[in-house]
Amino acid sequence: SHGTLPSVFKLQLARIQTDSVVEMLRKRYLNLHFEIVAMSTTGDKILDTALSKIGEKSLFTKELENALERNEVDLVVHSLKDLPTSLPPGFTIGAICKRENPHDAVVFHPKNYGKTLNSLPEKSVIGTSSLRRAAQLKRRFPQLEFRDIRGNLNTRLKKLDEKEDFSAIILAAAGLRRMGWENRIGQILNPEDCLYAVGQGALAVEVRARDEEILHMVSALHDAETVLCCIAERAFMRHLRCHVPLLCFAQLYLTGAVYSLDGSDSLKDTMQTGVNYPQQNEEGPNDDKQYVGITAKKIPCHAQEAAENLGVELASLLLSKGAKRILSVARQLNDAR
């Protein structure tokens, strides 16, 4: 098991995330040499379009998967929330690392230090590129205005600090912490204010599904609790089949919601499931079964199945209460924007 294992990153945060995964692997596999390959994707280059208009998550992953397929690289590090719930044939998520803080954070313009969203003046403009955040926060803080802001973390912080366009911006706490900018977090949004995105805060390692050697190697990075939470969240999202505002968080209590674009119409519910499982290696025909794109052999299948069923059942409950109507209207409005 000697050899070169190139992995892939995009931009500064992606580099930091990739480095952290490679560091964990280096500690476990002292005799392996890891080489990091820099790549950017189509999605990274489209900086003047709202993320929800770009639509396809594959714009951020296609080039990276092509490199995997051509054996130019052996693993790709992603933010799990950027990965679609169904991966193209031949690929799988071989590891999900322990989740960082999954919540959203508010970063304030220097003149608003010490404030919270509630204490900002009426009609203050808040920047976010996410329909999910905007829909929930419009509902929670109707006195504020929400506008698109694109670009990587550095660009967004620069836009906030150097201009007067925004009173604050909303970013993932995990990204800010990984970049070492925790001191800029003025407020962490709790689930009552804003449910976080499916998979938010977790790093995923994508590999070739049939590459047993690499799969076995990266599986050492799986964090069981994070895996089960993310299976439930991704199953919920896949069952709703959509890319409109959609969010949830799981402790194998799963809270999920759908919102109209302006936040005025919403459905929200919580379900729970008991997943008691011993840490064991299950051998058998189900060994390579994927759950919402994730291969986790060391976590018992029945635990992963329970997590997936939880997500599906919660999605079905919301659909039975009329989620489909909210989602299709939101999709039409978003397409027309």
Q: Which residues are catalytic?
A: 82
Q: What are phi and psi of 4, to 5 degrees?
A: -95, 135
Q: Which residue has the tokens 């970063």?
A: 107
Count each helix (H run) and each strand (E run) in the chain, helices first.
11, 13
Backbone φ/ψ region at 283: left (φ over 0), alpha (ψ -120 to 50), beta: beta
| C-alpha to C-alpha distance for 43 and 280, rounded to whole angstroms | 40
Q: Among 171, 143, 137, which Cα is nearest to 261's?
A: 137
CA distance 233 to 32: 34
Q: Tokens for 216, please give them.
A: 């076995």
* Alpha carbons 168 and 173: distance in angstroms, whole number: 14
Displacement of CA 202 from its chain's centroid (Å): 7
Contacts of 221 (CB under 8 A, 6+ apart): 21, 24, 25, 95, 96, 97, 205
Determine phi and psi for 167, rounding to 5 degrees. Answer: -85, -30
Taking the mean position of all CA atoms in its chain, how far away is CA 259? 18
Which is it for strands 246-250 and 253-259: parallel, antiparallel or unpaired? antiparallel
